[in-house]
Amino acid sequence: MKDEANRLPRIGGRLGALAFLLTLTLGSAAQTTLPWSDTAQADSSEVEASLRGPATQPVQVATSTPQQAPPVPARVKPAAPPLPPDFDVAMFEAMAQQIVANQRVPGLAMAIVHDGKVLSARGYGITDVSDAEPVDSHTVFRLASLSKGFAGTMAGLLVADGRLRWDSKLTDYMPEFELSQPGAASQITVADLLSHRVGLSHNAFDRDLERYVDYRTLTRRLSSAPLKCQPGTCYAYQNVAFSLIGDIVFATTGDFYSQEVQSRLLKPLGMNDASLGLEGIESSARWAKPHVRGRGGWVSVMPKPTYYEVAPAAGVNASASDMAQWLIAQTGHRPDVIPAPLLATLHKPLVDTPYQTRSSSWRRARLDSAGYGLGWRVYNYSGRPLVYHAGAVQGYRGMIAMLPDQDLGIAVLWNGESSVPTGLLPTMIDRAVGIPSSATAWLDIDFNQHAWYAENGRNAPGSSAAEATAAPR
């Protein structure tokens, strides 16, 4: 997938980022703690010792016995704060319905969760303009780069198992891997791969991937690609290089990456419609075909296999129902599958990406800062942390976001090359953080909020009638 960057900043701070990741990984599977945990973090001397110690040595792989983590103390996640009255799920569903009714996109799926509960998981529109079937909550869409969050989480589970470390070196698992500068390849860590700090220019060999060059050939070509910096010292978005994490998963477990994701994430989370790869989506009971623009409007096409070649970067398929379960897990409500402290590590920014604050109208208006963690973008949205990712391949688009302070998660997927549905996300986030609907209209559709409330026999939040109705008696 193409990154949104036009220019990418060079940054340092590798030691600091690794120090964060390693604070509680010394000889154990512990991760950084969540705000409500009172577990102490390791001091700087421990971090420095970890950087000098076993992490610089080859790591035992599938034939070794996994190191067992010490018991993690039970934690109780505090109840989420209530959402503002302006956060009206029925109205957001009506907006999604209007997008497809006006054929701005053929089909759309949306999931909203709060406090570990599903507020909405629905489909809208049709799967294929040539053979129309309604999109429902179990219709499968291609996730594109939303898949990167699965890759970061999968690697994190192996760290939690004690079978991998964030500072484990790529060449411990792929000793034949090379970059264009001597010794550079041996510097690349697991954390570098997942935070796009390999040192290459952005989107290295994506054009070749789109020309159907296979993944293995492209990984060998990385040995001749020019470096813009030493590994670990600057950010540049990748798909081919990012997917080397799949090779590490295979070397560590003895199972293919797709099998590990299925068994460790999709199946236990109850993501029953989800799959990986082209065969996975085509064998789904119902799936949304990709659409491109033609002279007469939308034209459905068959999904390209190209980015399925890089499964960790762009290989997952899922429905609205699946995404609701994924959001519940990523907001900390499935610690039986994803340890809650691991989420704090995954969602912590490791490298600054300031160009993201300028890459769209809602980012320019709302983002105070932007960075990248381990498979996730991390924003400051009007003073509040926002965990986010977007994805795009031919005929599919998607967005996922979580507001940790509100314990809110949102995912929107659609099967047409249109930017119109992107306005749904900031519209909902604005309402969640208390920014009034009159502030900015992000959604390019003719949706009259007050008329909608009137047509549905309801009072708009904030109106005197609504306050009178809500007043205690």
pLDDT at 264: 98
pLDDT at 458: 74
Per-residue pLDDT of the chain (473 residues; tens, 9 = 90+): 544 433 333 334 454 544 445 443 333 333 333 332 322 233 323 322 333 233 333 333 333 333 344 344 344 578 899 999 999 999 999 999 999 998 899 999 999 999 999 999 999 999 999 999 999 999 999 999 999 999 999 999 999 999 999 999 999 999 999 999 999 999 999 999 999 999 999 999 999 999 999 999 999 999 999 999 999 999 999 999 999 999 999 999 999 999 999 999 999 999 999 999 999 999 999 999 999 999 889 999 999 999 999 999 999 999 999 999 999 999 999 999 999 999 999 999 999 999 999 999 999 999 999 999 999 999 999 999 999 999 999 999 999 999 999 999 999 999 999 999 999 999 999 999 999 877 778 998 888 777 778 888 777 766 544 443 333 33
Domain membership of residue 195 (yes or no) is no
User: Among 308, 322, 158, which residue's Cα sits nearest to residue 245?
Assistant: 158
Pairwise CA distance, residues 104 & 387, whole Å: 27
Domain membership of residue 337 (yes or no) is yes
pLDDT at 462: 60
> Do residues 376 and 149 lie in contact, with contact meaning Cβ atoms separated by under 8 Å?
yes
Total structural domains within the chain: 1
Other C-beta atoms within 10 Å of 224: how many?
9
Domain membership of residue 473 (yes or no) is no
The identity of residue 396, as a single letter, is Y
Domain membership of residue 334 (yes or no) is yes
The identity of residue 456, as a single letter, is N
Count CA within 13 A, CB hemisphere, residue 98. 17
Is the dihedral angle over the CA atoms 329, 334, 335, 340 positive or is it negative? positive
Q: At 278, which CATH number?
A: 3.40.710.10
**355 φ, ψ to 5°?**
-60, -25
> Do residues 111 and 141 lie in contact, with contact meaning Cβ atoms separated by under 8 Å?
no
Range of the domain at 124: 90-147+274-455
Q: 3-state SS string over 405-437?
A: HHCEEEEEEECCCCCHHHHHHHHHHHHHCCCCC
Our CA angle for 25, 27, 33, nearest 5°, is 30
Domain membership of residue 231 (yes or no) is no
pTM for the full model? 0.84
Is the dihedral angle over the CA atoms 149, 152, 158, 160 positive or is it negative? negative
pLDDT at 33: 32
pLDDT at 143: 98
Domain membership of residue 375 (yes or no) is yes
Rg (CA), the chain: 22
Domain membership of residue 306 (yes or no) is yes
Q: Which residue has the tokens 């010792």?
A: 49
Domain membership of residue 164 (yes or no) is no
